Structure 1
Amino acid sequence: MKRLLTFVTVLFVTLFTSLAQDIEVSGKVVDSKSKSPIEFATIKLLDKTSGSLLVGTTTKADGGLLLITQEDDFVLEISFIGFISKTIEEYEISNGKVDFGTILLEEDSKLMDEVVIRGERSSTEFRLDKRIFNVGQDLSSTGASALEVLNNVPSVTVDIEGQIQLRGAGGVQIMINGKPSVLTSDGGSALGTLTADMIESVEVITNPSAKYDAEGTSGIINIVLKKEEKRGINGSVSLNTGVPDNHSLGFSLNKRTEKFNLFSQVGVGKRKFPENYKGYNRNETANTEINNFGERDKGESFLNVILGTDYHINDNNVLSLTGNFAYEWESETSLINYSAIGADNVVSSAWQRDEVTSATNPKWQFEMQYKKDFSDKKDHFLLISALGSSFSKDQESSFNNTPEFGEEALSDQQQTQTDFGQVEYTFKADYTQPFTEKITFETGGQYLITDVGNDYSISNWENDQWVVVTDLSNSFLYNQKVLGIYSTGSYEGEKAGIKLGLRMENTDLFTLLEETNQENNRNFTNFFPTVHTSYKMRDNFSLQAGYSRRIARPRLFDLNPYYNIRNNYSIRTGNPDLLPELTDSYEITGIFDHKTFSLSSSVYHRYITSTVENVTRFEGDIAISMPMNIGTNKTTGWEINGKYTPLDWLSFNGDFNYNYFHREGTYESTDFDFNADQWSSRLTTKIEFPADFTLEMVGNYQSKRQTFQSLMSGYAMADIGVRKKVLKGKVILNLSVRDAFASRIFESETIQDSFSQYSHRMRGRFVTFGLSYGFGKGEAMEFSGQKRRF
């Protein structure tokens, strides 16, 4: 019996093996026009009856394909982006082989045009805890830096100093690819070295979940950089020039293979930013005044290089390495005219103060990241990363006073020297576990170390030598360690969703003013709960609600008690005793989406304690400004964003933000309670003309706003852009005019019982012309390698 079973088994195995003979499928895929081989074309063998996938692969560098199958009734399908897909059903099997020979693919010009058009249009995505603004190819961002891109994002404004506000409030945490970056540090304008062509999207997170770092009272802005994943070699290059001096070059190159993705981006540029300035300080008690007016000219040259690689160890494991090096050369000159007016309203003296400043700012950053995808469920993964960065600044400024007349106009020479260094390390781990398709659990931790040293000295020219002013010079050391751990749980059904989270952060801060041996040690722990909910009332209408608690820790330049003497009648200094701000943020949002019209509207409320305000005091005719914790701030606001596309060639994007705030605070036993409001709006109109011409017009308005002591004026401005595509979008010509009517003027006025102060600044119109070219499988960039700081 056993022999019979053995014989039957061998017989069936032999019969099955003979019936399931391997069939070798081969061929070569080439471009029908150029006859060049097409690498990485997708090859599929499909079951002829069911259409299910039997086996698949991609073509090699020579266009060759090779597949092995045991099915003899199949369909061969070949596809590649930009080409018409091809299906072959007829073939002959000879000696267990099928040779399809040379397979010609034809370019699909219509599809390529559609891909370019889709890529041009910015779009907004709504997630449970954030909004994503895809940068697209907006003309208003032509020749732009990251700061200008942000200024075109709804809810975000950027002032002339590059300070970023979200819904009219500061305390914004800027991240790059979800992590802190040396390019967003306070020590320089490095964010401007990121060019618009490097940016994939901008995420605006007004109520971040517990997964995110709790830093930033008004929320998080996350800049997501492009990392091309197209197979083969692709890239683009752009060249820009403009008035005032505005010249730059941007370059990107990517190589994608089955195992590796190698990517690089380079931006170089040289800029000048002329500025007109005027202001006054008035001592109301003595009835005296110091007037000043003049011009400043800031020049900047920069280099920014990003290199990285993704190594796909296998389908479930990826190791990424990224390096970023940036270098800035800064120069600044100014000539300011001063005059002193006495109590009799007569000019008693006059003099000129000129400045020459030069600085170099080298920066580098590296990151290693490992991602483990688990095969049991989609979006089940472990992410571990280590990031290190360094930023240095070596700056020297010289100031020279030249008297014109009067006893107060004395000849004087001063100089300042800054030796700044910052090193930062971030270690992070995130784990996501979906229990079901609707329930997901997240947990993780982060450890951030920041170590800073800043040597700053002021010297006067006395007796034919430089003498350091010890009272105004210092060496300031700053070390901060933040440990954070979090957990979140979410449920997302077809109609309703909820996400709950809790984050704990321990902060260990140490500062030392070496000259006076003044130490400041603080260690505190905070808990940050978050709640996010959503409900889909109809297919095209949903509601979202959220709550989060945030913190804004004092920055180095807020703590460092150095004196900025650029204008020695208007001095800014830091406050080493500054406390962090804490914010409770609430928000309800409605989202409506239609084929030609989309609209989102939010009502929000923020309650901020230990609010940080710049407080100005007068000593004689000198105004000294210092950040201080002044009371609380309650802000309630309404925001609306919409897009309307009545015709294929015409679209409108608009946003409007209004908030009302109630301030309660006391300074030197005096109540400074007040109520005020502010609003801003933006409207973008895009018109597509025949022959691939596009016109874009952007109008902005920012209302006046009140602070603890001052009133900031409002302004209106307009940007205009024109674009022309040639060679099916491979070459793009851009012309942009920012602040077309030179109407973006920044005015600030402070009126108190004993003093008043006023300043007026304007930079004027910027015109940029650019050309970009896409090669390989790349598309032309809409933007340049520009560095620009407002």
Structure 2
Amino acid sequence: MKQLILVFVMSLFSYSSHAGTDPTDLGTITGQIMDSEFKEPIPYATISVTTPSGELVTGAVTTVDGTFSVEKLKDGEYIFKAQFMGYKSFSKEIRVSGGNREINIGTIFLEADVAELDAVDIVAERSTIEQRIDRKVVNVGKDLTTAGASASEIMNNIPSLSVDQDGNISMRGNENVRILIDGKPTNIPAAQLLKQIPSTSIKSIELITNPSAKYNPEGMSGIINIILHKNSNLGFNGNLNTGVTIGDHTRYTGSLNMNYRTGKVNFFTNLGTNGGESSNNGRLENFTRDYTEQLSFLNKNESYLVKLGMDYYMDDKNTFSIYTNQNYYDGDPIGKVNLFYGPNDERNLSQTFLLDGENHTQTYNFVYNHAFNPEGHKLILEADYSLTDETEIADYTFTGPGSGGFTSYRDDVGAELSNTTLNLDYENPFSETAKIELGAEARFRRSTNDYSTTNANLDNTLYNYDNNIYSAYATFGQTLEKWSYQVGARLEQYDVEAVMDGDLIYETDYLTLYPSAFVSYKFDEMKTLQLSYSRRVDRPGLNQVNPVREFSTPRLTQLGNPELEPQFTNSIEMNYTHNFEKGSSITGGVFYRLVEQEISQVLFVDPEDPSRLVLTFENWEDNSAYGVELSGRYKPFNWWSINPSFELYSSTEKGVVGETYREVEGTMFALRVNQSFNVTKKLTLQSFGMYRSKTKMLQINPKEFWFVNAGARYSILKDKGTLSLNVNDIFGTQRFQFYSDVPYEQRGTFWGDSQTVYLGFSYRFGGGKNKALDRKQRDDNTNEGGGLF
């Protein structure tokens, strides 16, 4: 496989050397665009050439040093125009003729348009959803950043996504979703990660439900890619955001985004923090064993996010970029579990645990981008390394009449997870309507879990889980009038090895092909239809395969399954988007997925102690799911905007629960409505409501739930500042409830600090002009494909 990838990379370079040349009998216009005040180049300014009647002939975009070249112009009269946001446009009549085909227009100095600059806002008032050929992009506006303090709190406001009381996120009703930050995987568990990221640090959220072959194929229901702010404006710019959430407990959040751009260098930083206290509670009624279990957790934690980086524009062909993400977490949760059999019952028992946990995740990223001619022809080399160090000390104590069989003990867990990724990506738009993409990747993951305990019934354990992935991909896309298509395939070699206390307990390797295909038809500028297919994989994670046995509560034991096999998903979906005048739109979609060897949590009676349950993971049979999604935006008036969405999911689950084979069909639907009212130019009111129906699953039957939020935003300080207020879960209905009949008949209810008031303030500063930077995997088209030999 490694030799195959090396041959592939060599052929990639030989292919790029045969680029065609432009005809010499056509006209060319060259020149440079600069800022009239700072006398600095303006990269990525728009150059357009039209006929005297206004019909567009061709165009270009300036390079990083402000130069441009417009080629292949036939003889005739033209209007040349240069423009960029925040500047007054420049236009000039041009004539191309036999004796005047090489036209150097010289240096054009654009003047700042003060009126336009004052109207530019770093963060839009309302979030927008953009449908691309392979993803939906949610551009996060102030209506979402004021909905909650963390990423976790705003996810329920986004169509297709749902977050439960424990912070677990699901997409299209399934929790097997991959979370990326700036196009990169993270070692931090998704639920913890989403609670650590301040909502004001998020620029956009990409929902990639059917990823192409360019992406790593992990995640059954797709990928959620969270893009953090990174400005590239000329001069010094930034924005400050602070907020406090008040409920049963108080939490705070804050973020500071800054950049300084001068000449060929751009420096940027994103600082974020949140912390305070929050609670989670639960109640389980076990009718088979005739007891009630009450759970209460007080979470005290602080987290800090630091992103630092720079871009160096060496010339118009070569760009170097580096950045680091540093994520710090310190948590001291306190928990209590009460088992109640009845008044004065000698079996009544209480368990208290105190946790002291912290982790530090550090990520380092380097990107080299080389541009060829024509525009869009490029080679990208990327290296990424992340390391997570985690420690957790937990003290468990038992009290009550039934505590005689339990002894207090301490667990001490140390974990280290590293991830090294090397990418090489090549793109060649060898014609105006066709493009080929080639790439290769190598990933090396190392996981170590060192567990020690004073519990006499458990053993100290050192567990290592390592895997390597080598892959190569190719995609080809073409536009034929109103039709567009893209086909591709990704070949991956996967090696894994698990070692427990020095003994090899599991080893496997396999080679798999992951194809993908996209077809879209553009009826006109307002209507588009898209059909796509992809094959995906979910490989077991460390917690799913770690066989170390841990006591979670007096009646529950947790452990992983080292023989867990990966699950594969074949997914097909169709989407339709229709944009109307005055900003209204509607998007509808249907999907179907077939899951082979589905991985799922299972709960069964402990054969070593019938009074206890065991929670672990197993591969079930092939299961299927389908769904329908409908979302839109409607503006009855200029001051009133309505964003409704409807989702319907149905699945068939088959598997052995305990010793019983079961097959269950479950259907669930969800309705969300987000409204915005512009009361004045400065004051905006908003409301959000969500309802999710009951459904059936293989082991539990979740009940319906609903909640309503309301908020307001007010602009101050010449529209550079914003005050925000949001009231969450007004009626106190945001609770997760379920009923189950296997392995016991029981009923459960869980709830957290959902009924809160959020107060926030944001302010932007600096006077630089926006200079968009085309950075692969970070801004408008972030992805995680590719690789290196």
- Aligning the two structures, in what range does the TM-score lie when normalised by the shorter sequence? 0.7 to 0.9
Q: 1:497 offset after TM fit, Å?
A: 1.1
Change (3 A) 1:149 1:319: farther
State the partner residue of 2:538. Answer: 552
Change (3 A) 1:630 1:59: closer
Change (3 A) 1:676 1:433: same
Change (3 A) 1:648 1:442: same
State the partner residue of 1:9. Answer: none
Secondary structure at the aligned position of 1:150 is classed as: helix
CA distance in 2, matches of 1:28, 1:759: 61
CA distance in 1, matches of 2:35, 2:493: 61
State the partner residue of 1:361. Answer: 359
TM-score (norm 2): 0.82
Change (3 A) 1:533 1:80: closer
Is the aligned partner of 1:195 residue 2:198?
yes
Secondary structure at the aligned position of 2:332 is classed as: strand
CA distance in 1, matches of 2:241, 2:744: 55
- Mapping for residues 517-536 of structure 1, pairs under 5 Å: 517=503, 519-536=505-522
Secondary structure at the aligned position of 1:705 is classed as: coil
State the partner residue of 1:304. Answer: 305
Q: Deviations over 1:583-637 (max 9, x none)?
A: 1101112211111421111111110011112111123221211111111211121
Change (3 A) 1:106 1:641: closer
Given that 1:139 and 1:722 are in contact with CA atoms closer than 8 Å, whether structure 2 keeps it comes out as no
Is the aligned partner of 1:247 residue 2:252?
yes
CA RMSD of aligned residues (A): 3.6
- Mapping for residues 660-739 of structure 1, pairs under 5 Å: 660-667=650-657, 670-739=660-729
State the partner residue of 1:322. Answer: 323
Is the aligned partner of 1:154 residue 2:141?
no
State the partner residue of 1:587. Answer: 573
Given that 1:748 and 1:760 are in contact with CA atoms closer than 8 Å, whether structure 2 keeps it comes out as no
Q: 1:225 offset after TM fit, Å?
A: 2.4
Q: 1:118 offset after TM fit, Å?
A: 8.4
Is the aligned partner of 1:570 residue 2:556?
yes
Given that 1:363 and 1:390 are in contact with CA atoms closer than 8 Å, whether structure 2 keeps it comes out as yes
Given that 2:473 and 2:491 are in contact with CA atoms closer than 8 Å, whether structure 1 keeps it comes out as yes
Given that 1:235 and 1:779 are in contact with CA atoms closer than 8 Å, whether structure 2 keeps it comes out as no
State the partner residue of 2:491. Answer: 504
State the partner residue of 2:267. Answer: 262
Is the aligned partner of 1:387 residue 2:384?
yes
CA distance in 2, matches of 1:690, 1:162: 36
CA distance in 2, matches of 1:521, 1:44: 55
Moved more, 656-665 or 623-632: 656-665
Is the aligned partner of 1:616 residue 2:621?
no
Is the aligned partner of 1:291 residue 2:296?
no
CA distance in 1, matches of 2:523, 2:624: 31
Given that 2:146 and 2:758 are in contact with CA atoms closer than 8 Å, whether structure 1 keeps it comes out as no
Change (3 A) 1:127 1:80: closer
State the partner residue of 2:480. Answer: 493
Given that 1:236 and 1:773 are in contact with CA atoms closer than 8 Å, whether structure 2 keeps it comes out as yes
Secondary structure at the aligned position of 2:217 is classed as: coil
CA distance in 2, matches of 1:113, 1:536: 36
Q: Deviations over 1:165-189 (max 9, x none)?
A: 111112111122323234xx33872
- Mapping for residues 353-502 of structure 1, pairs under 5 Å: 353-375=351-373, 377-403=374-400, 406=401, 412-460=407-455, 468-471=456-459, 473-502=460-489
Q: 1:474 offset after TM fit, Å?
A: 2.1
Secondary structure at the aligned position of 1:534 is classed as: strand
Aligned partner of 2:497: which letter?
A: F
CA distance in 2, matches of 1:511, 1:57: 50
State the partner residue of 2:761. Answer: 771
State the partner residue of 2:142. Answer: 137
State the partner residue of 2:778. Answer: none
Secondary structure at the aligned position of 1:209 is classed as: coil
Larger C-alpha radius of gyration, 1 or 2?
Answer: 1
Given that 2:724 and 2:759 are in contact with CA atoms closer than 8 Å, whether structure 1 keeps it comes out as yes
Q: Deviations over 1:670-707 (max 9, x none)?
A: 32112111112211001111150111111112222322
Secondary structure at the aligned position of 1:347 is classed as: coil
Moved more, 770-779 or 493-502: 770-779
CA distance in 1, matches of 2:643, 2:316: 41
Change (3 A) 1:698 1:509: same
Given that 2:654 and 2:698 are in contact with CA atoms closer than 8 Å, whether structure 1 keeps it comes out as no
State the partner residue of 1:107. Answer: 114
Is the aligned partner of 1:126 residue 2:162?
no
Aligned partner of 1:673: which letter?
A: E
CA distance in 2, matches of 1:251, 1:117: 13
Given that 1:146 and 1:192 are in contact with CA atoms closer than 8 Å, whether structure 2 keeps it comes out as yes
State the partner residue of 1:561. Answer: 547
Is the aligned partner of 1:217 residue 2:220?
yes
Aligned partner of 1:519: which letter?
A: I
Moved more, 605-614 or 159-168: 159-168
Change (3 A) 1:435 1:638: same
Q: 1:38 offset after TM fit, Å?
A: 9.2
Secondary structure at the aligned position of 1:210 is classed as: coil
Q: 1:757 offset after TM fit, Å?
A: 5.9
Given that 2:64 and 2:315 are in contact with CA atoms closer than 8 Å, whether structure 1 keeps it comes out as no
Given that 1:369 and 1:384 are in contact with CA atoms closer than 8 Å, whether structure 2 keeps it comes out as yes
Given that 2:664 and 2:697 are in contact with CA atoms closer than 8 Å, whether structure 1 keeps it comes out as no
Secondary structure at the aligned position of 2:138 is classed as: strand
Q: 1:755 offset after TM fit, Å?
A: 5.3
Aligned partner of 2:733: which letter?
A: S
Given that 1:615 and 1:708 are in contact with CA atoms closer than 8 Å, whether structure 2 keeps it comes out as no
Q: 1:119 offset after TM fit, Å?
A: 2.4
Name the % identity. 27
State the partner residue of 2:637. Answer: 647
Moved more, 134-143 or 418-427: 134-143
CA distance in 1, matches of 2:80, 2:617: 70
Q: 1:666 offset after TM fit, Å?
A: 3.4
Aligned partner of 2:168: which letter?
A: Q
